[in-house]
Structure 1
Amino acid sequence: MTSKRRLSLALLGACEVRIDGHPVQAVTYVRMRALLAYLAVERERDHPRADLAAMLWPGNDHVTARGNLRRTLADLRRTLETPLGMTLFIASKDAIRLVPAFSIDVRDFVGGGARNVREALPDEAAIALYRGEFLAGLSLPDCPQFEEWVSMHREALHCHALALLERLWRRYSMAGNYGEALRFVLRHAELEPWDEDVHRQAMLLYARNGQKSAALEQYAICRRMLREELASSPSKETEQLAERIRNGEWNASLPVQVQGQNPSGSSPPPQAERRPVTVLYCELIPAETEDPDEAAQVLGPPRERCLEIIRRHSGYVASTHGGGLLAYFGYPRADENAARHAVRAALAITRAAAPEIEIRVGIHSGLVIAGGQPDLPDAVGRTSKLAARLRHSAAKNQVSISQQTRHVVAGYFDCISLGLQHVSGFSQPLEVFRVNGETGARTRLDGVERLTPLFGRQAEIEKLLALWQEARNGSRQFLCIRGEPGIGKTRLVRALIERIEGDSDAVCELRCFPEFEQSPFHPVIAMIEARLGFPRTDTPEDKFRKLSAHFETRYRKSAPIAVPLLARLLSIALQGNYRAPPASPQKQKEQIIALLLDQLNTPPSEKPALLIVEDLHWIDPSSLELLHRFIERKDGRPVFAVFTHRPEFVAPWMPRGVSILDIAPLTERDARQMIASISGQVPAATARLIVESSDGVPLFIEEMTKLARTDNSVGIPPTLHDLLAARIDRLGSAKYTAQLAATLGREFDLTLLGKVFPKERGNLQEALRALREAGLTLELNASTQQFKHALIREAAYQSQTKADIQAAHQRVAEVLMREFPDVVASRPEQLAQHLSASGQTRLAIEYWTKAGQRAAQYSAHAEAIKNFNNGLRLLPGLQPGSNRDLMEFNILVNLCPSLYAAVGYGSEEATRANARLAVLADLVGDAPDLFQAKWAVVMNTIANAGSRDVPPRAMHLLHNAGDDPLRRQAAHYAVADAAFWLGKFEVARAHTEESLTFYRSTQHQDLLARFGEDLSVSCAAYLAWAYHFLGHAERARLICDKMLGRARELDHPHTLALALCFASVLHRWMDDRENTLILSTETIEVSRKYGFSVWLAAGEMTHGWALARHGRHEGIAELDSSVAGMKKAIGGISVVFLSALAEAYFHLALYDRSLATVEAAKREAARTGDGHFSAELCRIEGECLLATSAKNAPRAKACFNQARSISRAQGAKSLELLVEASMARMR
């Protein structure tokens, strides 16, 4: 007996495949290794062939790519399965899965192959597996999706290796085993050569191990690496440690860490968190010199200038080694203008470059994990690394930025693409941009080429124009436009300026910015400089000449006083005969305010002035005082002054003499129009998500739509990261509360929040009050609050690390199960969400299933489908086997009825679910729900493919129903359903009547739970139809009325929609146009309310028919819509829809179209076996032929004869009578 052969796969380092320890050389070509690696790592789920082909052969067409995949899979099978003598690849027509019958180093390395903690490898054994980076040397540059997957795993596994190594060298170091500690710290330095802290630890360990020369050699390695990699020098702390080792003082206490000099009052966040930042790396290269002392002396002053510029632009300097500066913008406090500050700082640095220094700057924006170390805001280092590498793409005294940064600052700066560049350490080429300078844009709207049209603001525009008219009539009008960020305050002002263009000789705009809140008169100074035309190249002399010329030309009398005052305000030295008037600083301020007031109130003409002051919430105190006096002044020129600000700002003049215009969010209709104007290509489902997530804020709508236009995702756009993070950061200590509340959801229960809130975090009520005062949350009632915007909630949630998120969700799940059993029972989806996010997969699946079942009970089928699908998505996280198969089977059995109700019995989603259900039915044995599963498959087959091959399977159901009354009802119903569409009306009648004998009113809830509808109503509906075709019209009408009454009593929307649909179709066949119209209208209303697509299509079909029967041509459009809906929802019974359209064309005298539709219906009948209306299709064809021309009488007669023959064979007396009437009219 031979032992089983063993396959092992090593992906850490170069890809290696071994069987019984021997290398398999035949896994030769790159895509073969790539496919094997991908399936091995992602081995616990099915992978659609289409997705794999698109990922590995993106440049090929669909057919070629699928062929390449098929050949590659065949090569892998021949190479691995044949020598192993076992099946590794489970492949179906549509998907491929790799069975976990082998060992893989990646899973052992991260502990993923262990069933519990005890089975996990020890740290030393785990790190021994890390031979190098994930799939080293394997690259497919033309496969971006695969490359991104590799890059993501490389980064995660690299970080895991570093964590293991640090744990090991710290453990051995604390135990005094410095030799073993060195082994791991040197490996750490090898993997992360620019981490100076690790080099320092190696130096210290060498010294403690008695290896002084090795310690100093490590210092030399560190110095050389920093110079070559970062163009920098070791930090003061490293220099001091090296000096102590030379002097034999290494065991003395280490020097205090030297931190970058940052603005006073700034302190880094105390806990690890995810945050958006923009990283600036500046390299300063002195003239060639080998003397380090000389280089340091040359670099000193330029470096200080760079530090001062970075600080001035709100940057945080984390590292200042030698010729390298690493700075972060948006850290330690988020800044909504972080990226712009970083690029402006970089340009200022290049402008200030000394001739003897060469400067290159790289900038990148992204998310970082920020911890508690102030000099290490980017704990992972990937974002910082890219900024540092980008400076290699910059020429002398130039700035290079990443595509991500360019996306955020577009419009503010003139950026030129340098094309795709290969950046060291990054697998994919990246697009890099050179920044040539600023465009002059000061706001987002200044920087866009085309403004998005204004929607939903007509009333606001009318108010603005009314106030402007008052100013034109000679009055002074003041208005505050108040609204939250992004609501459209500036856009509204721009619309006003556009509408009054040419109607005012003076439009004066003042803009306030957060970085100048403490700069006296800054908005006024900026406005004056803009009016006088001061470019950056102007010398002080040029500026004074322009200032004096302006006043000497226009205001000669006031020039002797005005010019010195404004020169002081603009920080320009006086020249010529001008002298500054002697006055104290306070007196000078009063004189400046008086001068500015005179300027604002001096009319250049009879026309009124328009004064715009934007973002008043950032105004400096001196400018605010100026505006206050301007408003209080009763005389002066006619003016309309418009101020914009956020809700939290309260002006000192409020509310005296100043109107308030609060800007509300856009309505759903306006939001949808705005989305369509930005991009007509956004799918309807994505547009709906944008409307829901944006909460009517125009900026959110615009940026989310632009993001969706490129990748169909709906998340936080990069352009909004900084804005939202800044609002969260301003909460201070209440930020943790926002994060925890965000973990609960957009709407959060205060009692639950109180239970999970750690007591050591302070006063919860004070934190909640801070959230409300910041405008981030709303109080819905005494026990519930809500985040004002979905994106604010998302930003707070995403600011946590993944570990913190998982821990928070776990705490919430534990509290819910322990203390809120009523919530768990009534809203199981709430617990399921927290279980999913905390990694408790099996329990999460159980509660997602319960949530789906509960939603389905209340006809909330869209929610039920979502809940069931959430459970299905978690299944790959479980070990393969019978238990997982049974869980999937149970979910699908419950999912199918909801799919039938919401998207249709024959929909693509229902067909896909039933196909999987059929496979699982053979695997789960005698599962309790096996009958329901096979019943669901039969119903889907009828609706999707037609009834031709169904009767044997339906009879098999009946044979297996046993004595269970519910199963017998369902089986008879399935037989009757198939029989009716096949035109076997007597069989349908017999089985529906037999089914109804088993029904008891007490079975209602059980029927809904098992089959999704009350089968007494469904069977009665088919019984009424069968009696109609068999020629018993009154009995059919009576059964229909009772069936509809029963459906109304049950108060179950899906059953009611079904009943209304069947009733309206019956009345259509009876040519009762009035009742058809009434019933179809109600069908449509119920279906739209509850999202029943199949019944909506049927309601439109009968409604359109009734309209056409009244001679109204608009019925055709509704019928066309119903046919389109039918094709998606229930294509197996298409004839009933097409026949209605054919009849409508006939009654509207559109005979050619009717004939074409009859032919289409006959083709569908042949495809599906649908024969219920074959006789009537022949009759309609004959009637159309006669109506077209009397010469067609022979052909028409043949049609009628065929119709009579079919109807007699079917026993369809009602159809036979219609044929006899048509033939009588011929005679």
Structure 2
Amino acid sequence: MPAPSSDFCDILLLGTTSIRVGRQELPFPKRYRKALGLLGFLASERDKPHSRDYLAALFWPELDESAARSNLRQVLSNLNQTLGGADRPSPLQSCRHSIGFRSELVAGLDLATLEHPLPACDSCHADECRLLADLAVRLTPHILSGDFLPAYNLPGCDEFELWLAHKREQLRMQQLLLLQRLITCSQCSGADEQALDYAHLLMKIDPDNEMHLRQVMEMHAAAGHPGAALKLFESFSRRLRRELDVAPEAATLALRDKLLNGMAPRVSLMAPSPFPVIQKVSLVVVLRVQWFSLSQDPEEASQRLYDLDQMTRALLGKKMGAFHLNSAGKGAFFYFGWPNAIVDAAWLAWSAALRLSTWARACQDARVKIGIHCGRLFSSLDNTIPDLLGEITEETARVCHNAQYNQPLVSDKVQQLLAYRGRLHKLQDRRRQSDGTVQALYYQAEENQAATAPASPLQGRDPQLEKLTEIRQDTGPGMVAILAGAGMGKTALVAQWLARQPMQGDTLHRLCCQPDLQPAPLETLFHFLTSHPPSARVGAISSSGRHLYDYEQWISDLDAVNIRDDGQKHRLFSRLVPLLGPLRPSHATLYWLEDVHWCDTLTLEFFIHLARHARPAPFLLVTGHQLPTTMAWPGHCLNLPPLPLSAGQALLQRWLPETASAEHRQQCFHLSGGIPLVLKLLAEHQGTQQIPDALIALFSPDIDRQGRHRELALILAVAGTDTPHEELAALMPEKTTREEIAEAMAAMVESGLLHRVTGTRVRFAHPLIPRILEELNAPSRIRRIRQALMQAVC
């Protein structure tokens, strides 16, 4: 029996369907939808032969024997081409009469990992714990809680459907048994947090079992978190009332009462909430993708839609960090949010939409509709309580419905977030939203627009403008990095500087770096080259003479997959320079890399090489939050400080009405903290009590970074930063000491949310943060804190 080789494939059928060799995911057979069912059946009933007649009748009951066996041969051939190769045998072993699955010819099979025989003893002994610990290393959440062949069915194959239902139930029982044993052994070894994670998975796969609910509640209480246990109870009891109109069992109610009685002496002011508390409000951008197949063959169309759905999930989820909501046959929803600021989230969604529409235009058998909208996400810090998106998904679905095929459409809120990155065209037809208001919709114009000067030039940036001009006039390589946080006016500064430059005949290339969790080498440069029509640009042709449409092929042509030394890198850069087109001696060339914090390191190193060695030397300008941490910047760095008072007052004179008093201008500048974008937004919304979403979005990442200290941050916003630590501890929903309050506040000072005035006195780093904290929390939570404060005063 051969040992599993690194060249053998891994087959995943629980929670997902995937075939991998090492880190590379193999494309699943696209032509036959029944190929997945056949693979799942053979892998599940492995290491024994199955007659071809039985398999043909199982998957093609409507066909005669000859036609069914012919289809089986075609599907089997397709599977063997995917699973096998020149350097690895296929695990599907067949002869004239039967077909089988040899598990020793795969590197890993998640079904085999789940069905690994458990120790026979019933009590938890050291040997059993050791065996389970070794097994737990290979157990992923997909294996422990994922469905077998998720969302897969074969209408018309009744016998297979019965087998599939039975198999899923059998594997589900195996998961429940394994999780119970893992919980017991984790508790015995003192790994209480791991045991709690396993218990939550247990509730996920068997949500109606009150024994599991009571077990998780007791584990939360033992860990010192009775509030979390009560939230689980409230969520479960509401679902019972809503779906079955019944109350929980007496044992569950008794446990609830016991927890309530035990919490009374711990919390003096904040009683447990009798209703579900929304602990967090976040701004998110929602994208809806709906694929359409043009195939006339129903089976081929179903398989194609399934493949496109998996490809969409891989791009948006694994590569771009989106959260998947649902896919119920009417399009998939994804939302982008934390840890990205809302502007970056909008750009992530827009970038993903452009990639998907580009793929769709290259497909001959599929089209796509894409809509993007933004709004508020209501969620709990407890993973067992689902997130709520309210009406955002409904509005996003309407935007998607209005979209043309292969042409993404965005709402006006998203357009405002994308406005500075490129121009969008407005649809002539406007439509009403569900609340009766009129919303405009926008679609893509053209990318890589040249920068235009802002309508209101920034004040207080003359030193930076003069420094940029001085560096450009210098004889050495011109390389400048402008680094600052969101809203500090980096884009406006560059646009204002370019407007002042004599640009007759000069060329400006603006590269907007696309957000990506794992940017691939030279991917930013590739997107820049492919954004121009091949007929208008020499650089749109790869080294092999083909047009640049396939990134993987292009990187392979350039031999840029594994760059091991500086010599290889220099040779690669020499091949890349001609792709940008000729540099004219009589005119200057400027490259502006925007949002450089999203840029891959190799692209940035290439432009540095270009600025150093090309003749005439181009001028390189990069803007963003920060440079990649893995490289040293050889050029100049310009940091943008907050605006001085005189510059802020000058801007407010233009942005505020003439009737605004000097005191009002002073208050606006104080609230802005010298951040230009905040100042502009405050001026635009002057006279309104509600804080605009763009302002909330600017500060929400810093607030979200507080994690478990977020509750204390809200209490400080409502009660005041001068509240004694004893009172703050009494206002916390869980038992908290003065020392823990002091540690949490020190952590918030270190993160930048608070600023230390003296040894013990602190204040919020920005005057708007307390109001934004209240906006990012449910009104019910704020009312409870204020009621508790009133009780303390009385």
Q: Into which bin does the TM-score normalised by the smaller protein fall?
A: 0.5 to 0.7
**2:374 alignment partner, SS class:** strand
Distance 1:589 1:713 in 2: 56
Q: Quick one: which amino acid aligns to residue 564 of structure 2?
A: Q
The residue correspondences of 1:146-185 to structure 2 (distance < 5 A) are none
Map of 1:826 onto structure 2: none
Map of 2:521 onto structure 1: 520
Distance 2:725 2:615 in 1: 54
2:700 to 712, 715, 725: 725
Deviations along 1:1041-1067, whole A, 9 cap, x unmatched?
A: xxxxxxxxxxxxxxxxxxxxxxxxxxx
Distance 1:355 1:598 in 2: 32
How far did residue 701 of structure 1 move? 1.8
Deviations along 1:261-310, whole A, 9 cap, x unmatched?
A: xxxxxxxxx9731111223344557789999x998557433433443454
The yes-or-no answer on 1:326 pairing with 2:318 is: no
Distance 1:519 1:572 in 2: 10
Distance 1:565 1:766 in 2: 62
Map of 1:337 onto structure 2: 344
Flag the 1:298–1:716 CA change in 2: closer, same or farther, 3 A: same
**2:373 alignment partner, SS class:** strand
Contact 1:317 1:327 (C-alpha < 8 Å) held by counterparts: yes
**1:368 alignment partner, SS class:** strand
Distance 2:409 2:752 in 1: 38
2:683 to 672, 689, 705: 705
Distance 2:410 2:591 in 1: 37
Contact 2:643 2:674 (C-alpha < 8 Å) held by counterparts: yes
Distance 1:717 1:799 in 2: 12
Map of 1:385 onto structure 2: 394
**2:564 alignment partner, SS class:** helix
How far did residue 318 of structure 1 move? 1.1
Deviations along 1:654-687, whole A, 9 cap, x unmatched?
A: 7xx7544332222333223323434546744765
How far did residue 634 of structure 1 move? 9.6
The yes-or-no answer on 1:803 pairing with 2:783 is: no
The yes-or-no answer on 1:546 pairing with 2:550 is: no
Map of 1:620 onto structure 2: 600
Distance 1:364 1:282 in 2: 12
Distance 1:507 1:289 in 2: 48
Contact 2:540 2:579 (C-alpha < 8 Å) held by counterparts: no
The yes-or-no answer on 1:781 pairing with 2:785 is: no
How far did residue 693 of structure 1 move? 1.9
Map of 2:476 onto structure 1: 475
The residue correspondences of 1:363-512 to structure 2 (distance < 5 A) are 363-371=372-380, 378-379=387-388, 381-394=390-403, 401-410=410-419, 412-421=423-432, 426=434, 428-440=435-447, 446=451, 451-469=455-473, 471=474, 474-476=475-477, 478-502=479-503, 505=506, 507=508, 509-512=510-513
Q: Tell which structure's C-alpha radius of gyration is larger.
A: 1
1:742 to 695, 706, 717: 717
Distance 1:199 1:753 in 2: 34
TM-score by length of 2: 0.53
Distance 1:375 1:325 in 2: 22
Map of 1:571 onto structure 2: 551
Contact 1:689 1:714 (C-alpha < 8 Å) held by counterparts: no
**2:455 alignment partner, SS class:** coil
How far did residue 317 of structure 1 move? 1.4
Map of 2:86 onto structure 1: none
Structure with the larger helix share: 1
Deviations along 1:895-930, whole A, 9 cap, x unmatched?
A: xxxxxxxxxxxxxxxxxxxxxxxxxxxxxxxxxxxx
411-420 or 696-705, which moves further after superposition? Answer: 411-420
Distance 2:723 2:490 in 1: 30
How far did residue 805 of structure 1 move? 2.6
Distance 1:525 1:585 in 2: 17
Flag the 1:617–1:715 CA change in 2: closer, same or farther, 3 A: farther
**1:786 alignment partner, SS class:** strand
Q: Quick one: which amino acid aligns to residue 394 of structure 2?
A: K
Distance 1:620 1:566 in 2: 24
635-644 or 458-467, which moves further after superposition? Answer: 635-644
% same residue: 21
Paired residue total: 526
**1:778 alignment partner, SS class:** strand
Distance 2:640 2:546 in 1: 37
How far did residue 745 of structure 1 move? 4.9
1:300 to 290, 295, 306: 306
Distance 2:560 2:303 in 1: 44
Flag the 1:280–1:449 CA change in 2: closer, same or farther, 3 A: farther
Map of 1:670 onto structure 2: 647
Distance 1:583 1:275 in 2: 39
Contact 1:481 1:645 (C-alpha < 8 Å) held by counterparts: yes
Distance 2:350 2:516 in 1: 15
563-572 or 609-618, which moves further after superposition? Answer: 563-572
* Greater relative contact order (CA < 8 Å, ≥ 6 in sequence): 2
408-417 or 354-363, which moves further after superposition? Answer: 354-363
How far did residue 752 of structure 1 move? 7.0
Structure 2 gap segments, 5+ residues each: 1-206, 212-234, 249-276
Q: Quick one: which amino acid aligns to residue 675 of structure 1?
A: L
Distance 2:581 2:330 in 1: 53
Deviations along 1:815-849, whole A, 9 cap, x unmatched?
A: 7x5xxxxxxxxxxxxxxxxxxxxxxxxx7xxxxxx
**1:404 alignment partner, SS class:** helix
Contact 2:729 2:735 (C-alpha < 8 Å) held by counterparts: no
Distance 2:408 2:688 in 1: 31
Q: Quick one: which amino acid aligns to residue 653 of structure 1?
A: A
Contact 1:617 1:645 (C-alpha < 8 Å) held by counterparts: yes
Distance 2:453 2:466 in 1: 26
2:691 to 700, 706, 716: 716
Deviations along 1:535-571, whole A, 9 cap, x unmatched?
A: xxx6xxx79x93387xxxxxxxxxxxx9369999983
Map of 1:977 onto structure 2: none
Distance 1:395 1:754 in 2: 55
Flag the 1:502–1:771 CA change in 2: closer, same or farther, 3 A: same
Distance 2:484 2:709 in 1: 23
**1:418 alignment partner, SS class:** coil
How far did residue 361 of structure 1 move? 4.8
Structure 1 gap segments, 5+ residues each: 1-169, 175-194, 209-269, 550-561, 818-842, 844-1227
**1:653 alignment partner, SS class:** coil
How far did residue 475 of structure 1 move? 2.8
Distance 1:504 1:749 in 2: 66
**1:713 alignment partner, SS class:** coil
Contact 2:725 2:742 (C-alpha < 8 Å) held by counterparts: no
2:671 to 670, 673, 693: 693
The yes-or-no answer on 1:653 pairing with 2:641 is: no
Deviations along 1:717-738, whole A, 9 cap, x unmatched?
A: 2334434323433444454454
Map of 1:1011 onto structure 2: none
Flag the 1:313–1:694 CA change in 2: closer, same or farther, 3 A: same
Flag the 1:373–1:288 CA change in 2: closer, same or farther, 3 A: farther
**1:494 alignment partner, SS class:** helix
Distance 1:805 1:629 in 2: 55
Distance 1:324 1:776 in 2: 39
